[in-house]
Structure 1
Amino acid sequence: MLVVNRFRAGADPASLRADLELVHGLLAGKPGYVAGWIGRNLDDPDLWTLTTRWENVGAYRRALSSYELKLQMPVLMRAIDEPSAYEVVEPNAVLNVAEPRVT
């Protein structure tokens, strides 16, 4: 699973970068983390991303619910409000089906 969070740096890009580096480091230490990076848009330097890969959605959600990450929620709450979780599409893979999970 792939998570792409986008952020606007605003008046203090150095602060956003430091906060994203801290959050990325915390996420990287959590079970189920596969890879990740921080990026900045080439055409719009005010636009940044925190991109991570996870073994599954459960691992990502557990990582976000950890105490250390909850302390860093102010930066994560600055993310642009849009869907951020994606499934990785590989050749011939069966894709997730959107359906109610309650019986």
Structure 2
Amino acid sequence: MLAVIRYTVPESQSQDFVKQGHTILDTFAGQPGFQRGRLARSVDEPNLWALVTEWEGAGFYRRALSAARMVMYPMMILMVHEPSAFEDVYLRGGA
């Protein structure tokens, strides 16, 4: 299961945002079902960021969100409000 949370971050806040992103990923990493995560920045729109994580299933992700809500709270105002949980329909590995 893939989770993508997008954020619109003013340049003046980007350094703090990266630090908070590390904290969120560290919190997620300690939760059951976590597989991997990354913080990414758009190459075309530098104010657009994504926190991307992979989970064993949606239930694990939802419980992790609950556990991480306090560390995520400072960034909530920057969130793009849209669905964030996606289930795999087709998965192909690289060579």
C-alpha separation in 1, matches of 2:42 and 2:65: 25
C-alpha separation in 2, matches of 1:86 and 1:9: 23
Aligned partners of 2:2 and 2:86 also within 8 Å: yes
User: Is it true that 1:7 corresponds to 2:7 in the alignment?
Assistant: yes
5+ residue gaps, structure 1, are: 92-103
C-alpha separation in 1, matches of 2:22 and 2:16: 10
Overall identity of the aligned pairs, in %: 36
Q: More helix by proportion, 1 or 2? A: 2
C-alpha separation in 1, matches of 2:69 and 2:38: 20
5+ residue gaps, structure 2, are: none
CA RMSD of aligned residues (A): 1.4
TM-score normalized with structure 1 length: 0.79
SS at match of 1:49: strand
Q: Which structure exhibits the higher relative contact order, with contacts defined as CA atoms closer than 8 Å and separated by 6 or more residues?
A: 2
SS at match of 1:88: coil
Structure 1 pair 57/77, CA: closer, same or farther in 2 (3 Å)? Answer: farther
Deviations along 1:53-91, one digit per CA (max 9) or x if unpaired, are 00011101111112xx12212224531001111111126
Match of 2:44 in 1: 43
Stretch moving more, 7-16 or 31-40: 7-16
Runs of 4+ in 1 over 3 A off after TM superposition: none
Match of 1:85 in 2: 85
